[in-house]
Structure 1
C-alpha cells in the first residue's frame, strides 16, 4: 500500500467532492495569506474532513488525492533562516526547492513575512532535474525576492541545509477562497539523521485571510490549538548538534522521533 493511498484512506478523502488544480488555483491560490497550523491525531483530522464535506473540495489529480512532496531548504552557514524564526524576528524568510514527486514538477520558492505578519510566497518553475540546487536563474530570482522584502541575504550565501518529505492532501473552499492542507508521513533529513513525525498525527495548515476560516473554527471546537511549527525549523532543531534549546524543539520532541538514516539529502523519488 502506497503512503499516499494510506493517508487518503486514513483521512476519508473519498467522501469529499473532487476539484481540479485549475479550480483550486483559481479560487484559492493565496500567495499572500495568513497561515495557522495544528498538530492533531489522525482520527481528529478525519472528523474535521467529515465536517467540511459540504463546503470543501479535495484536489483530485486524475483520481489521485494526495501528492508526495520533497523540499530542500537552503540556509546560510550560520543558519540565518533558522535563527530568524526561533528568535521570532519580524523579517523571517525561507528559500527552498520543492518537487511534486508523482507529477515531476519542481519550483524554487521564497517565503517572507510582510509588516502585518502575513506570509508572502513567490515561486519560480524550474525543471525537475534542478531539484535540490540553485542555478544562476534561481539565484537571481531569490535575490530579487529577498531584496524586495528588505532581507540582507544573497543567494550565493546559501547552501542545502535539510530536506523535508511528506504526503499532502489539499482541500479548498471554492466559494470563499480558503485552503486546508493535511500532511502525513512527515520526515526531516539532515546528513545521516532523520526526525519523523509520529504516524498517528497529521500536521494541518489553514491558509486564508485574517478572519478564522470554517476549518479553524471546527478545529478549535475540537480542542485543537494553533502551534508555531515549521517543518524546516523542526528538522534543524532536532538534527543539528549544538543549537540552543527552543520552544520548537520542546514541542517537536513530544511528537517526533530521531534516528540514523543513510539516505542522502537529495534522494530523488521518481515520478509515478
Structure 2
C-alpha cells in the first residue's frame, strides 16, 4: 500500500461523503483567511474525521481522497522570509511553486499577512515544467503581489531555499465555507538533509474566518492546542546550520527527526 493510500485508511476517509474540486472551490476557496494549526496523533485525527463526517465532505478526485504535494520555497540569500516569520514581523511573506504530483498541476503562490494578521494567498497557474523555479511570468506575478503588500523584496533576489513534501486530505464544510486539511508523510529537504514529521502524527489546519470554526472546538475537546508552525520555517530551522535557536525549532524537535540523507521523490504523474 502506498503512503497516500495508507494515510487515507488510517484517517478513515472512506466513511466521508465525497465532493468534487469544483464543489470545494465554490464553497470554500478561501484566499483571505485565518489559519489555525495543530499537531495531532493519528488516532485522534481519525476521531476528528469521524466527528466531522456529519458536516464535512472530503475532496474526492476520481476516487482518490488524498493528494501528494511538492512545494519549493524561495527566499533571499539572507533568508528574509524565514527571519520575518521568526521575528514575528507584521509584513510576513512566502513565495513558492507547488506541484500536485498525481495530477501534474503546478501553481506559483505568494502568501502575505494583512493588517489584521490574516493570511492572504495569491496564486498563478503555471506549466508543470515550471515547478521549482521562477520564470519570467512567475517573477512578474510575484513582484506585483509583493509590491502591493509593501514587501520590499525583488524576485531577482529570490532563489530556491527548501522543498517540502507531504500527502494531504482536504475536508470542506460546503454549507459554511470552512475547510480542514490533514497532512501526513511530511518531509522537509535542504541540500542532502531531510527532516521528517513523526509518522504517528499529522499536521491539521483549519481554514476559515476570524472566529474559531466547529472543527477548532472539536480539536480542543480532543486535547489539541493551536501551534505556530510553518512547514518552511520548520525545515530551515532544523536543517540550516548556524541559524539562531527559536521557538519553532524547539517545538519541531519534539515532532520532527532530522536525517543526513535525502528521501526518495514522491511519484509524479505528469499531466497529459
TM-score normalized by the length of structure 1: 0.98
Q: What residue in structure 1 maps to residue 204 of structure 2?
A: 204
Is residue 208 of structure 2 the alignment partner of residue 221 of structure 1? no
- Tell me if 1:166 matches 2:166: yes
How far has the Cα of 1:221 moved from its partner? 1.0
Matches within 5 A, 1:170-209: 170-209=170-209
- Separation (CA, whole Å) in 2 of partners of 1:90 and 1:159: 23
Displacement of 1:268 in angstroms is 7.3
Instruction: Work out the number of aligned pairs and report it.
Output: 270
**Aligned with 1:249: secondary structure?**
helix
Answer yes or no: is the 8 Å Cα contact 2:68–2:266 preserved in 1: no
- Mapping of 1:1-272 within 5 angstroms? 1-262=1-262, 269-271=267-269
Runs (5+) with no aligned partner, structure 1: none
Q: How big is the shift at 1:67? A: 0.3
Distance in 2 between residues matched to 1:262 and 1:164, nearest whole Å: 12
Distance 1:196 1:268 in 2: 14
TM-score, with normalisation over the residues of structure 2? Answer: 0.98
Return the alpha-carbon distance in structure 2 between the equivalents of residues 86 and 63 of structure 1: 40
Secondary structure, counterpart of 1:83 in structure 2: helix
Which portions of structure 1, spanning 4 or more consecutive aligned residues, are displaced by more than 6 angstroms?
Answer: none
Question: Are the equivalent residues in 2 in contact too, given 1:110–1:122 (CA < 8 A)?
Answer: yes
Contact 1:84–1:92 under 8 Å retained in 2: yes
Cα distance in 1, alignment partners of residues 55 and 262 from structure 2: 43
Q: Distance in 1 between matches of 2:117 and 2:37?
A: 15
Give, in whole Å, the separation in 2 of the partners of 1:85 and 1:190: 18
Segments of 5+ residues of structure 2 without an aligned counterpart are none
